[in-house]
Structure 1
Amino acid sequence: MRDPAAYDRGFARLTSYTVEPLLDALGPRPRRLLDLGCGTGVVTAAALALGAEVTAVDSSPAMLDVVARRHPGATVRGATLPVLPFDDGSFDAAAGNFVINHVTDTPATLAELHRVLRPGGALALTWWTSEEMTATNVFAEALAAARVPYEPPARPFTAVERPERFAGLLTAAGFGEVGVRTLRWRHRVDPAAWWTGVVEAAGPRFEVITRQPPETLARVRACYDRLAAPYAAAGFPVCARLAHGLR
C-alpha cells in the first residue's frame, strides 16, 4: 500500500503539474465532478476551488482518509476501476490524473466512465509516457548501475498508450470530440528529497529498493545520486499525455 505522507511529498507534487490543463480540458466549469484515483487530493483541491461539487474515489483507504480530512466539502468513496458505485449519468465531468495507466482493463474502464457521465459530460485523463520519464527512470537506471536484478512490474497499458491507439479506444467507448495532447515539463526537486519521496512511498515499481540489505541499498543510493546530479538545477524531464472527450 502506498504511504500517503511519502506519496504527498513525492508523486503528488510531480502530478500537480498537470492539474490545471486536466481541468481546463473539461471545458466550462462542471458542477458535479468525479476525481478518479484521487490520491492525496491535488485534483480535488483545485476543482473545489473552482466551485465544483467533487466526488473523490480511490482504491486506498489511507488516501481517502487524507482527502476526507483535508477537504470535508468533498464526497469521498472507495472504488477500484473498472467498477464505480454510481448511477448512470451521475456526473457532469470526470478527471483522472495518472490513474488510467494503472487499471487492469482499459476498454472496460472507459465504458464505465461513459456510463457515469451525463450526455454531453466531459472526460479528461492523463498518463505517463514511459520512454520519457527521466524522473522515475533514474531509479531503474540506478538499480542497473548497482547491478541489482530488477524486473519492472508488467504494464499492460503500454499496449494502448500511443495517442492514436488511446483515441481509438475513447471513440469505441462512445466518446466524441476526442483529442490527445502531449505535456512536457521539468520536475524541479531536490534529488535527495525525490529519492526519499519515491522510495518511502513503496509503490510496486520500486519497492524492490526497500527490500535490499543495507550495503546494497547504499550502493543503489550512490548510483542514484550520481545519475540524478545533472538534473539538480534544471529538474528532471517529464512527459505525459492528456486525453479528452465528450459523452
Structure 2
Amino acid sequence: MIEVDFDAHERSRWTGRARAYRRSFGRLCAYPTGALLDAAAVRAGRRVIDVGTGPGTVAAAALARGARVVAVDAEPGMLAAARRTATGAGLVGGALPRLPFPDARFDAAVANFVLNHVGDPAAALAELRRLVRPGGRVAVTLWPFPHPPLQRLWREAIDAADVVPPTDLPRLAPERDFPRTEEGVTGLLSAAGLSDAGCATVSWTHRADPADWWAGPAAGIGAVGLVVQRQAPAVRARIRQEYDRLTAGCRTTDGMLALPTAALLGAATVP
C-alpha cells in the first residue's frame, strides 16, 4: 500500500471526529503529557512545536510551562478544539512529513501518539529533526505492540462476536515499519540521525466510563472503528454486547472501567 493511501486513510478516520476523540481517547492520550514535555526539555522561553496536536492538550501544558508554542494538525475540527484548549498557541494546518516551517526554527518538537498514524515514520522523524535547532530535543509517544490489555479489549470483543476484520485496510510497507518496542523506537530515532536516543515504557491503569470508551470505535475512530462501522446494525449490536460482557469483570465499584495500558516514550537530541 503506497504512502498516500495509508496517510489518506488515517486522516479519514479522524475527520469530523474531534468530539468523539475527546470523549473516548482524549484522556488516555493525555496521560503521558508531562513525561513527554520533560523528555523534550520544555520549559519557559523554549520554542516548541506540537505536531498532531489534536485538541491541544500537550500544547496547553507546554504553554503552562511558559513555552512559546506552535500547534499543528491536519484536521480542522481538532484545530478548532485546540484553539479553545491552548489559548496563546499559534495554530497551523499541516501534516507530516512536510510542514511549512524553516529549518531549525524550534528548540523542541513533540508528537504525542502521531507516529502510529503516518505512512513513513522515518520521514516523519526526519522532518521533526529538520525543524529543531542543534542541541534541541525531539520527543514522541506511540502505542506498543503487542497491545496492552486496554487496547486489546476492542479486538477481543470483535473476535468474540465472530466478526472477521476486513483485509483491505492500508498497512505500512514492510520496509517502512519498525518494532513497536523500546528497542524499535530507539533504533528509529537513531536512524533519523538523532543522538542520545532512548525509549522507556510508561505504564498506568486507565479509568473510563465504559460507554465513553466504546464511543471511539462507535464513531469510527481508528482501524477498529472502521471494522465496527462496516458491520450491519445487528452485528454492531453483537459486538457491543460482547464488549459489555468482557468489561463486566474489569469495572470498579463505581462502575468505571479500569484496565492497564502503556505507551512508549522516545526522545533524542538533534546533533
Normalised TM-score (structure 1): 0.93
Q: 1:161 and 2:176 equivalent?
A: no
Q: Which residue of 2 aligns with 1:190?
A: 209
- Structure 1 unaligned blocks of 5 or more: none
Does the CA contact (< 8 Å) of 2:205 and 2:260 recur in 1? Answer: yes
Aligned length: 247
Deviation at 1:168, TM superposition (A): 2.2
Give the whole-Å Cα distance in 2 for the aligned partners of 1:66 and 1:170.
Answer: 30
Give the whole-Å Cα distance in 2 for the aligned partners of 1:209 and 1:120.
Answer: 45
Give the whole-Å Cα distance in 2 for the aligned partners of 1:201 and 1:20.
Answer: 29
* Cα distance change on mapping 1:134 and 1:154 into 2, 3 Å: farther
Q: Deviations over 1:100-150 (max 9, x none)?
A: 121111221111111110111111101101313322221111111111121
Q: Which residue of 2 aligns with 1:76?
A: 91
Q: Which residue of 1 aligns with 2:39?
A: 25
Worse overlay, 187-196 or 207-216: 207-216
Q: Which residue of 2 aligns with 1:235?
A: 258
Give the whole-Å Cα distance in 2 for the aligned partners of 1:165 and 1:192.
Answer: 34
Q: Counterparts of 1:1-247 in structure 2 under 5 Å? A: 1=12, 2=14, 3-27=17-41, 29=43, 31-151=46-166, 153-156=169-172, 159-200=178-219, 202-233=221-252, 235-247=258-270
Does the CA contact (< 8 Å) of 1:92 and 1:118 recur in 2? Answer: yes
2:33 partner letter: V
Deviation at 1:237, TM superposition (A): 1.4
Give the whole-Å Cα distance in 2 for the aligned partners of 1:113 and 1:9.
Answer: 29
Give the whole-Å Cα distance in 1 for the aligned partners of 2:224 and 2:131.
Answer: 31
Worse overlay, 86-95 or 160-169: 160-169
* Cα distance change on mapping 1:171 and 1:65 into 2, 3 Å: same
Give the whole-Å Cα distance in 1 for the aligned partners of 2:88 and 2:42.
Answer: 21
Give the whole-Å Cα distance in 2 for the aligned partners of 1:217 and 1:239.
Answer: 28
2:150 partner letter: A
Does the CA contact (< 8 Å) of 2:182 and 2:199 recur in 1? Answer: yes
Give the whole-Å Cα distance in 1 for the aligned partners of 2:177 and 2:130.
Answer: 25
**Identical amino acids, percent of aligned pairs:** 43
Give the whole-Å Cα distance in 2 for the aligned partners of 1:71 and 1:103.
Answer: 24
Normalised TM-score (structure 2): 0.85
Does the CA contact (< 8 Å) of 1:7 and 1:198 recur in 2? Answer: no
* Cα distance change on mapping 1:57 and 1:147 into 2, 3 Å: same
Does the CA contact (< 8 Å) of 1:188 and 1:235 recur in 2? Answer: yes
Does the CA contact (< 8 Å) of 2:202 and 2:262 recur in 1? Answer: yes
